[in-house]
Chains A and B, each alone.
Chain A
């Protein structure tokens, strides 16, 4: 009896197992089909983009980006100047390393990284000159305005660009020697950590702080010019709409 029951029970289990297998197979097949469909659609999207033209940069993006880079560089220089001011205070007696040195190192590394893009942008604007402006002026091309209005906008934007370019030149002139002297000063501290106790080193540090403030001024002037250019572009966009 037990044997018979078990046999019957075994038959039921096998039926259930077969049904489950069939369901799993159907699900797997459906999943594969869905995946294939998604893959084909995705592939279609990728191939269609290959034939399309390059995406147009957003209007005023170049100006906004440069403004962001300049403000990041401004912040980085500001932190470095602050940390140098902290270094200029005498260290507490008995400490081998100045307590503000770690903060200065962090700020200096950040400035090294941040300054690359900001300085590169300034260099590119100076090197390309009027050709750089071509990217900006593409945003003025519209048929909705009269020739006179278009010409006025062009002249105003060119004026802004010239200002940005001139101030970028000042940033370049100030930034490079500042970074060079900063690196040399930090290397001197590597050789003798007590160098800050010397009068000459203190004078050098004061000089660096002054130069840092000059860099901050030039960056502020670039930021002002960029704000003007951005406002002009926004006005153009609003007029278009």
Chain B
């Protein structure tokens, strides 16, 4: 599959895809039976597993329940059957993937503080190294995002994921840089504080790109080409910022 340069607008009306799905779903009576089977399997899948105490409770209440409700072994059998047949197994894997991936999305570790050295200078060096690493990660994230956004299959959901990811990476960079700023302030040198102010302002200028993309998205006017171009700007601006950080070694009192 090759990326198409002349792409459709990024915002496609949601109704269209829904309609298509509805049309494709209506294929006959056999599909209805299949859907019922699937629903049963889904119910079986989502039935909560019973803990030991629940089982005991059920054993106590077993006389009061009707024979239809006493179906635990049958349900277990359903699990076994589900695992035994390949298409149903695939369904299970797909469901697990969807459920787990949704949970996995928000699990971003907050950046750990840089290692504290024996002196302020050593701590500053560690913080600067961590900042440089994180800046490279942000640049890489922008590059990857730009490459994904070129594809004609790039959707709104993917944009939101990429946008959130980029924001989190950028936030981590800020956190790391704040450590540099705090250690630089401890050195008490005006050069270091000026360098920190410049680098901090640089991050603020780069962050304007987030505001721009957010504004375009909220207005419903975001185009894929705009995303690609903005990602490129992000990447290049980050490269420039990294260069500035390295150039300011002396002013930040970094001794390597």
A and B: interacting chains: yes
Most chain-B Cβ atoms within 10 A of its Cβ — which of A119, A124, A132?
A124
B241: Cβ under 8 A from any A Cβ:
yes
Verify B232–A109 contact, CB threshold 8 A. yes
Q: How far is the CA of A64 from the CA of B116 in the complex (A)?
A: 35
A-B pairs under 8 A by CB, number: 99
A187: Cβ under 8 A from any B Cβ:
yes
Q: How many A residues touch the partner, as a band?
A: 35 or more
Partner of B197, one of A132, A176, A187: A132
Q: How far is the CA of A216 from the CA of B221 in the complex (A)?
A: 30
A92: Cβ under 8 A from any B Cβ:
no
Given known A55-B250, A124-B194, A135-B191, contact A112–B236 (CB-CB < 8 A): yes
Q: How far is the CA of A132 from the CA of B251 in the complex (A)?
A: 13
Q: How far is the CA of A186 from the CA of B198 in the complex (A)?
A: 28
B189-207 interface (Cβ within 8 A of A): 189-191, 193-194, 197-202, 204-206
CB-defined contacts of B255 to chain A, threshold 8 Å: 49-50, 52, 54
Verify A191–B223 contact, CB threshold 8 A. yes
CB-defined contacts of A179 to chain B, threshold 8 Å: 208
CB-defined contacts of A127 to chain B, threshold 8 Å: 197, 201
A121: Cβ under 8 A from any B Cβ:
yes
A113: Cβ under 8 A from any B Cβ:
yes
B77: Cβ under 8 A from any A Cβ:
no
Partner of A109, one of B9, B229, B239: B229
A134: Cβ under 8 A from any B Cβ:
yes
Closest beta carbon of chain B to A130's beta carbon, Å: 10
Verify A124–B201 contact, CB threshold 8 A. yes
Q: What 0/1 readout, one digit per residue, does chain B (89-102) give for beta carbons within 8 Å of chain A?
A: 00000000000000
Given known A109-B229, A120-B202, A123-B205, contact A187–B236 (CB-CB < 8 A): no
5 contacts between A and B (CB under 8 A): A49-B256, A57-B250, A120-B205, A123-B205, A135-B194
The 5 closest A-B pairs by CB, nearest first: A123-B201, A134-B190, A120-B202, A124-B197, A120-B201
Binding site for A on B (CB under 8 A): 9, 189-191, 193-194, 197-202, 204-206, 208, 212, 216, 221-223, 225-226, 229-230, 232-233, 236-237, 239-241, 244, 250-251, 253-256
